[in-house]
Amino acid sequence: MSESHARTALSHTERAVGSTTVVTLSGEVDLATRLSLAPRLDVLTAGPRPDLVLDLRSVAFIDCAGLGLLCRARNRVAARGGRLRLVSDSTSFRRILRRTGLAGVFALLPEFGTAPATAPVSRHGPVVPAGQG
């Protein structure tokens, strides 16, 4: 990454679609922005059987701290018998998931609304990001 990289602040919006909470993220999900997003995701994943969709289509960049945040949300949802789906049509994001061993861990959709109501939930156990296990 070059020194002239202009930082894109993270922002998010939330909406309810039935019993599902859809969080649309835009900007960068990295070490700096994780601190502002983590508490909100903790609230959204705290209840019984949370149903959460994270729309990442407007995320310009995600680093290992951002992936760790997604893994934490996934683990919290799975522990409560809920469901987490990620929306991304980015081939580079899919490549990152493959290279980090996270492909298949998340239910990944190209857009929200195209998946059946019973989108698959990962059968993998808890995810521990590399370097934290």
Q: Residue 7: pLDDT band by 50, 70, 90 thresholds?
A: low
Alpha-carbon span 121 to 34, nearest angstrom: 24
The model's pLDDT over 98-124, given as tens digits with 9 standing for 90+, comes to: 999 999 999 999 988 734 344 433 444
CB atoms within 10 A of CB 33: 24
The model's pLDDT over 23-67, given as tens digits with 9 standing for 90+, comes to: 999 999 999 999 999 999 999 999 999 999 999 999 999 999 999
The pTM (predicted TM-score) of the whole model is 0.80
CATH topology of domain 11-109: Transcription Regulator spoIIAA (3.30.750)
pLDDT for res 100? 95
- The full set of domain ranges for the chain reads 11-109
Are 56 and 23 in contact by the 8 Å Cβ rule? The answer is no
CA angle 75–123–39, rounded 5-degree value = 15
